[in-house]
Amino acid sequence: MDDIRPKLPTKPERFMDILRQHIRKQGLSYRTEQTYTHWIKRFIHFNRLKHPAGMGSAEVEAFLTHLTVQGLCASNTQRVALNAIAYLYKQFLGKEIPDLNFKLVKKQRRLPIVYSREEVAAVLSHLQGVFRLQIELMYGSGLRSAELLSLRIKDLDFGSNNIFVRGGKGNKDQTTLLPKGIIQDLQRQVKYVSLLHQQDLLAGYGLVFLPDALDRKCPYAAKQLAWQYLFPANTISKCPRSGIYRRHHMHSSTLTRQVNTAVGKAGINKPARCHAFRHSFATHLLETGYDLRTIQELLGHSDVSTTEIYTHVVNRGNKGVLSPSDRLRGQHKIEPIYSWLYQAGKTEYALFAIT
């Protein structure tokens, strides 16, 4: 249950507890709270546990430069750390930081990892049961891993073929399409959750975690099937906020391990990433001919420039682009170099080239 905010003391005294309380009063998401507290802790430990109120520009510059030179961090990582420290001083401590002079990492645009349709099919062939259904849903709807695992029964609308994503990245709600080909599998999953929920109720459990203050406004909603997670965990665990034993959703590491194994068995020479199926969803839609605006809405991007990254990884062959090398081989029937080496009796060079 590491995506549930832990309960804070009524009158916090520790520095980090007071900081967490301030972040929650500002209405920031729990993921932002986790990120800010992580980097603020690293900043404090880097400066040998000195209190931030007694530090200034010199310490901040040294820390950010350390991330670049010794840490070899990416530009986005450095900017996230800078945002956390800026919040610490400007919002929390009410202290202005003068102009900083540190080594700024040059921002580079990284292309996403995309699996071809054949590679997606190969990965699915090595997955079974609920894990295959999860990957089919991610690839068919463009969901993030956290959004997938946070789905509840009520978020599936089989009538309109829509999936409602609640509190996604940026704490935004959105809708995306529900693949028709897996509707029966999803309905079977709902039946499984229903039976599991009935067993939990008979065992004295069955109360699911509810967001915001819904547990006070609708106390009976926690027992309703509609609020149960679509992909529940195998075990019941203690809620860090209320102390009640609940059945939360499956942990992301469980799905990650399954994907790593499946990609390895499929013999795919690309990094194994759950997020790659979201990238593949967008890229394959773009190859099919859907416009960027439609894909932007399905992915939930606030800016179309974020979606434009997929134009750099589409299959150019589908757009009628023929490489000059392919055209040359088609006209002059140039044989591969390995074939020429074998015909010339230079097998040792051919084997060297292959290996």
Instruction: Measure CA of the first residue to CA of the last residue in the chain; give whole Å.
Output: 47
User: The tokens of 282 are what?
Assistant: 């967008």
| Measured distance CA(195)–CA(203) in Å, rounded | 13
Residue 165's beta-bridge partner residues? 174
Q: What is the dihedral of CA 78, 81, 83, 88, to 10 degrees?
A: -150
Of 315, 273, 3, the C-alpha closest to 138 is 273
The reported pLDDT for the residue numbered 316 is: 62
The b-or-e profile of 2-30 (16+ CB within 10 A means b, else e) is eeeeeeeeeeeeeeeeebbebbeeeebeb
238 neighbors 220 (Cβ within 8 angstroms): no
pLDDT of residue 349: 47
Distances (CA, A) of 180 to 11, 100, 344: 51, 54, 56
Query: In which residue are the tokens 């549930």 written?
Result: 4
Residues 6+ positions from 188 with CB-CB distance below 8 Å: none
| Domain 15-92 CATH (choose: 3.40.47.10, 2.40.50.140, 1.10.150.130, 3.20.20.70) | 1.10.150.130
CATH no. of 117-252: 1.10.443
Residues marked active site are found at 144, 169, 275, 278, 301, 310
Three-state DSSP class for residue 204? coil
- In order of 170, 217, 293, 296, 300, the CA distances from 303 in angstroms are 13, 35, 10, 8, 9
Given a contact cutoff of 8 angstroms between Cβ atoms, the answer to whether 244 and 207 are in contact is yes
- Residue 238 makes CB contacts below 8 A (sequence gap 6+) with 1, 244, 245, 246
pLDDT at 106: 67
Q: Where exactly does CATH 1.10.443 map onto the chain?
A: 117-252
- Distance of CA 167 to CAs 173, 225, 239, 248, 298, Å? 5, 20, 20, 17, 15
What's the Rg (C-alpha) of the chain? 26
All CATH 1.10.150.130 domain ranges of the chain, comma separated, are 15-92
**Structural tokens at position 250:** 């499956």
pLDDT at 133: 96
CA–CA separation, 134 vs 147, rounded Å? 11
How confident is the prediction along the chain (355 residues), in pLDDT tens digits per residue?
Answer: 777 888 888 898 999 999 999 999 998 888 899 999 999 999 999 999 999 999 988 899 899 888 888 877 877 888 899 999 999 999 999 988 777 776 666 666 778 899 999 999 999 999 999 999 999 999 999 999 999 999 999 999 999 999 999 877 767 788 999 999 999 999 999 999 999 999 999 999 988 988 877 877 887 888 999 999 999 999 998 888 788 899 999 999 999 999 999 999 999 999 999 999 999 999 999 988 888 899 999 998 888 888 888 888 887 655 556 677 766 666 655 555 555 445 555 545 444 444 4
3 state SS of 342 = helix
Helix (H, G, I), strand (E, B) or coil at 162: strand
SS3 174: strand
